[in-house]
Amino acid sequence: MNVQCCIFCKIIAGQVPCTKIYENEHVLAFMDAGPVSEGHVLVVLKQHTTRLDLTDPLEMAELAKVLPKLAGSVKDAMVADGYNVLCNNGSSAGQVVEHMHFHIIPRKENDGVFNQWPSFQYPEGKADTIAEKIRRNLTL
């Protein structure tokens, strides 16, 4: 994705309007233009990066400082029973804008949003095999 074409970079630069909630040197939070519930907020880092795993840890720390407070503010303002904080990474995970961002989605009991994620049972030993693959790929 070319940064000049990124809609979130254009919003950050002030080239595209948004309904701003919060802004500091590193982070911008604004109302989602296509919300799944009233009060749906997007939180983006001003530094362009496409996925969470490609995000600079220091920049992520700046986002982590404000994300909990923003989530609580959304919950309280919307008198919500709860909220989801989501970060979709890659188109197969539902990412539409290739600029890493978090959704804060206020929820009410029986609102019909994300009713339930399907689950399954691993066959015997499969979880251990997958966990080992993940551990081998983990670099901290």
Which residues are identified as catalytic? 101
Asked whether the CA dihedral 130, 115, 33, 21 is positive or negative, the reply is negative
How far apart, in Å, are the Cα atoms of 2 and each of 27, 85, 90? Answer: 20, 26, 16
**The two structure tokens encoding residue 30:** 């604004």
Half-sphere exposure of 75 (CA within 13 A, CB side): 12
Q: What are the residues whose beta carbons fall under 8 Å from the beta carbon of 9, sequence distance 6 or more?
A: 3, 48, 99
Beta bridge mates, 20: 30
How far apart, in Å, are the Cα atoms of 135 and each of 19, 51, 122, 140? Answer: 41, 20, 18, 11
